[in-house]
Structure 1
């Protein structure tokens, strides 16, 4: 990860691929969401790592049905042209009921290469 400090940006200034992923994820549209990832991408969520399109698609399907929740984008940051953080506030029927999650994106070209989701 770069040493630069992230700077706050408008959520409208997030790269198109991130916006497309977040919109599809919010709509539980796995078919669109999976197309935003590179074939060899990795996702780390809830302490588990998912590598490659098939594993990421399975993770997306599970994430879309495991809990019912609302999600609101509350902050966006850019470290450099390949590294972004989108912070979301979630409320729902998952353990704890509310959480702020940081979606840390690494881009490769026009695709997501790496995504880490953590509090």
Structure 2
């Protein structure tokens, strides 16, 4: 569960966006490592703003807070992935100056992972 990996195992961190002390969004991130940079990176796994609060700057504010953490802690890079069909998010990220890189994401999950190990 998310709670286990964030609070017990401390493998990810979360920051929240609040309006009048009510949580209306969050950003969940974890650290990765780049041998190319020789440094730790922040990988944003999830950025979520409740739909009724979108368009009010909360997503940008969360990203700025994360960027500050990257700078303060001396990480090498701030990165995330976005689904190729999610044009509203792509437009948002590009509007704030983020750049798409030429990476293809590969992964194994569930049966694919087990089949690969067992072959």
Same fold (TM over 0.5): no
Larger Rg belongs to: 2
Q: Where is the strand percentage greater, Structure 1 or Structure 2?
A: 1
Q: Which TM-score band applies after superposition, normalised by the shorter structure?
A: under 0.3
- Greater RCO between the two (CA within 8 Å, min separation 6)? 1
Q: Give the TM-score normalised by structure 2.
A: 0.25
